[in-house]
A and B are shown apart, each in its own frame.
Chain A
Amino acid sequence: MSPATFLGMPPFPVAAREALANSQQRGNLRNATHTIRAKRAGVVGEVDDWEQLRRAGAAIKDDVLGNLDGYLEQLDASLTLAGATVHWARDAGEANRIVIDIARRHHVDEVVKVKSMVTGEIELNAALEAAGISAWETDLAELIVQLGDDLPSHILVPAIHRNRSEVREIFLREMGKVGKPADADLTDDPADLAGAARRHLREKFLRAKVAVSGANFAVADTGTLVVVESEGNGRMCLTLPEVLVSIVGIEKIVPTWTDLEVFLQLLPRSSTGERMNPYTSTWTGVTPGDGPQEVHVVLLDNGRTSVLADEVGRQALRCIRCSACLNVCPVYERTGGRAYGSVYPGPIGAILTPMLRGIGTDEATDSLPYASSLCGACFEACPVLIDIPEVLVHLREKVVDAHRSRMPGTVAMAMTGASWLLTNARRLAALQTVAGVSGRVLGRGGRIGRMPAPLNRWTDARDAPAPPRESFRGWWARTDGGRGDRRAGHDGREER
């Protein structure tokens, strides 16, 4: 059984329609996002200098992105000095091959994994599987997703769309197929479920020779990698196996150890709504006699340098994967993450995925920048001040420009026509006269009910207002800006 993949997912509006009909998921997501939202608001509200921290976080990342070449060389040198082996990977294929080669050199047919977004991005599990190597997810939520042959739907809580009774069923059905089974009398009590996962995973921790991780931060001047987590499974993977391979996006750098002070305040409060996360693991190359004695670091580009080349879009590389933007997003709350067709869902995914994959590659990717009402809740919550709405609008322009050479579609023709109308007030006035006539034909009680396609996109669920008999400019001209009306005893009042 090969792992589930996002490949070939439909465009966002289609995937969203299906997700909206999933009542179980709607309920699970609403509960989960509202709970995290409230927790985050509480712990962010108690930090007096939160705005300064956000600005500091953005500034540190901007410095890194502006001087990435130098910092990458520095990180390479620090890591090498500390006994790590540094690899450079241009894309997913190169990164996956490096991991497979290391596993083969150690003659293993399995690896344990720390929860990591980047390995999802490069679909490492599928690549390992194809090479005959099993990758065991050890984060509780990732384990639920993996056992359920499912796709993640959230950055921080990938199984957010599942509730505990679904988790119990998955554990009972699947655990025995790949390792220690769950007890037959397993209940859906969270402590009971965690106990089953612990027993299932312990066997894998103790057996595995090779572990794979990502990193939340890579400190350039010391060569230290940092993993921030809640469960302790990450620390098991980072300390027990003999070999550790960490895949690190090149934007994960912070210049110095002291810079962590800013991010270790911003990240837990923004992500889990905690003052501090339970486990913070840091390691600097190889420590003789302690932990993995062979440490590899794969520095990954996979589209990041092209994001960096985009002056507006590059701010997305500040992202620390906290998922605050998902939790406050009214679109995400209703569709869930899988509708975004990427391991990076929600508002950050709607900008990051198209930039990493490239605009104009396929319809699903090009639909993502439009998967937002531009309400701005994401920007308000982002701990590193990524102006997501600004980038969304910027990417929409790129989507339009990428299609300009083709035959114009309905939207393109409507936009060109609207631009022509709205550039000249006389043309707009002529349109209003026509609209006024149509309103008298179509409207009943000032409202228009169901209309044929494409107007049914509005009127299927909503009434539309009927165009009024007289536009505002018509009223202004007729009454001399209301002066005539007042003389005549009218006041220009109009019922909606």
Chain B
Amino acid sequence: MKVAVFVTCLNDTMFPGTGTAVVRLLHRLGVDVEFPTGQTCCGQMHVNTGYVAEAVPIVRTFVDAFAGYDAVVAPSGSCVASVRHQHQLVARRSGDTRLAREVATLSPRVYELSEFLVDVLGVVDVGAYFPHRVTLHPTCHSRRLLGVGDRPEQLLRAVRGLTLVDLPEAEECCGFGGTFALKNPDVSVAMGSDKARHVRETGAEVLVAGDNSCLMHIGGLLTRERAGIRAMHLAEVLASTEPGA
């Protein structure tokens, strides 16, 4: 199986540690993952802000980068949801039938990290060690658009040393919402503050999620108030091992 990592533009540029964690984790599980260097972005920001025409060349770049792979794995529920639910729309809008055909065959082979681990590789215990008190924000797009269900929880529960504590009102949106965070900053922050308060209520040291976009928002609020809680991508927790292991 030829596997590629779609690291996403946000992780590539701002959170490379998440990308390297995916690579380490997959290597440990025996997957020889490749990074097609032509990749850039899923185009979601453009589609969700109303710039569908501007998303067309981005989707074309995505298809060109990943068409040759059996499976594509990405550490982002939101970007994978965009690939699965929006690329078809963008391709249709472009009027390019070849692009539409390529999107239709590629999109189902693109997996969010927890889906890839649990469904494709069939592993729940990835051999990780992370001796910390952790709470999970499930993220709206992972839960509602992809239906990842409790896969992230299953993976976290199998991590040695890790204590998983329930997040109150976990299913509520954190208020990031892409350009929503800039177009409606007041509402976005009001939502995020409630989320951050719930995170603090858990007494966790680490807030984990499958999307760095949500974490950038909640984590930015937490560090601003010096809450002493780290935001960390699921991939980085799963890649952690005992020193010397």
**How many A residues touch B, CB cutoff 8 Å?**
69
CB distance from A246 to the nearest CB of B (A): 37
Residue from A412, A423, A424, A447 having most chain B Cβ neighbours under 10 A: A423
Alpha-carbon distance A429/B47, docked complex (angstroms): 22
Question: A363 interface residue, CB < 8 Å from B?
Answer: no
Residue in contact with B16 in the complex, picked from A393, A463, A468, CB distance below 8 Å: A468
| B12 contacts across to A, CB distance below 8 A | 428, 432, 471-473
Alpha-carbon distance A301/B223, docked complex (angstroms): 52
Residue in contact with B13 in the complex, picked from A371, A377, A435, A476, CB distance below 8 Å: A435
Question: A462 interface residue, CB < 8 Å from B?
Answer: yes
Given A379-B144, A419-B46: A13 touches B183 (CB 8 Å cut-off): yes
Residue-wise interface mask of B (22-56) relative to A, using a CB-CB cutoff of 8 A (1 in contact, 0 not) = 01100100000111011111010111111110110
Question: B120 interface residue, CB < 8 Å from A?
Answer: no
Q: Would you call B50 and A400 a contact (CB within 8 A)? A: yes
Residue-wise interface mask of B (181-206) relative to A, using a CB-CB cutoff of 8 A (1 in contact, 0 not) = 11111111111110000000000000
Question: B94 interface residue, CB < 8 Å from A?
Answer: no
Q: Would you call A330 and B49 a contact (CB within 8 A)? A: no
Q: Would you call A475 and B16 a contact (CB within 8 A)? A: yes
Alpha-carbon distance A371/B144, docked complex (angstroms): 19
CB distance from B12 to the nearest CB of A (A): 4
Q: Would you call B177 and A374 a contact (CB within 8 A)? A: yes
Question: B127 interface residue, CB < 8 Å from A?
Answer: no
CB distance from A272 to the nearest CB of B (A): 22
Residue in contact with B220 in the complex, picked from A376, A463, A475, CB distance below 8 Å: A463
Question: B140 interface residue, CB < 8 Å from A?
Answer: yes
| A470 contacts across to B, CB distance below 8 A | 16
| A496 contacts across to B, CB distance below 8 A | 15, 17, 219, 230-232, 236
Question: A482 interface residue, CB < 8 Å from B?
Answer: yes
Majority secondary structure, A binding face:
helix
Question: A314 interface residue, CB < 8 Å from B?
Answer: no
Alpha-carbon distance A348/B182, docked complex (angstroms): 22
Q: Would you call B187 and A422 a contact (CB within 8 A)? A: no
Question: B166 interface residue, CB < 8 Å from A?
Answer: no
Residue in contact with A16 in the complex, picked from B21, B23, B65, B184, CB distance below 8 Å: B184
Which of B100-108, B152-160, B168-176 faces chain A? B168-176
Closest A residue to B196 using CB positions = A462
Q: Would you call B24 and A482 a contact (CB within 8 A)? A: yes
Q: Would you call B13 and A428 a contact (CB within 8 A)? A: yes
Q: Would you call B46 and A415 a contact (CB within 8 A)? A: yes
| B residues 209-244 touching A (CB-CB < 8 Å) | 216-217, 219-221, 223-224, 230-232, 236
| A407 contacts across to B, CB distance below 8 A | none
Given A370-B180, A462-B224: A494 touches B16 (CB 8 Å cut-off): yes
Question: A380 interface residue, CB < 8 Å from B?
Answer: yes
17 contacts between A and B (CB under 8 A): A13-B187, A16-B186, A373-B176, A397-B52, A399-B50, A416-B51, A416-B54, A425-B38, A425-B40, A428-B13, A461-B192, A468-B17, A473-B7, A476-B37, A482-B24, A495-B17, A496-B219
Chain B interface residues toward A at CB < 8 A: 7, 9, 11-17, 19-21, 23-24, 27, 33-35, 37-41, 43, 45-52, 54-55, 57-58, 60-61, 65, 86, 140-141, 144-145, 171-173, 175-193, 216-217, 219-221, 223-224, 230-232, 236
Chain A interface residues toward B at CB < 8 A: 12-13, 16-17, 20, 330-331, 334-335, 369-377, 379-380, 393, 396-401, 411-412, 415-416, 418-419, 422-425, 428, 431-432, 435, 447, 454, 457-458, 460-465, 467-468, 470-477, 481-482, 491-496
Task: Given contact pairs A396-B48, A474-B16, A482-B24, enumerate 9 new A-B contacts (beta carbons under 8 Å).
Answer: A370-B179, A371-B187, A377-B171, A419-B46, A425-B38, A447-B220, A476-B35, A477-B37, A481-B35
